[in-house]
């Protein structure tokens, strides 16, 4: 696991930016993630609807920001 950025204090709200590199990193993340936490990730998606499947060029990519709120934690 690579910690890119961290901004938190013990028992206070904060943020950590990580890059998961191996399967074992998910176990470590599981131990610091709690119910009610929020994840934010930037990604890109293509519109692959049936209208766009017949195009000669692939559909353009669209930037999307995902925000996920943790409702339960299990490994």
Strand (E) positions, 1-75?
Answer: 2-7, 15-19, 38-46, 61-69
pLDDT at 64: 93
Sequence spans of domains, the chain: 1-32, 38-75
* Cα 14–chain centre separation: 16
The string of pLDDT tens digits covering residues 24-62 is 988 888 888 889 999 888 899 887 765 656 667 777 888
* pLDDT greater at residue 70 or residue 16: 70
């Amino acid at each position: 696991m690579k910690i890119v950025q961290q901004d938190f204090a013990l028992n206070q709200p904060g943020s950590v930016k990580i890059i998961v590199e191996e399967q074992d990193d998910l176990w470590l993340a599981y131990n610091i993630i709690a119910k009610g936490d929020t994840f934010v990730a930037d990604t890109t998606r293509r519109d692959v609807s049936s209208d766009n499947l017949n195009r000669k060029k692939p559909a353009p990519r669209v930037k999307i920001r995902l925000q996920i709120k943790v409702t339960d934690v299990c490994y």
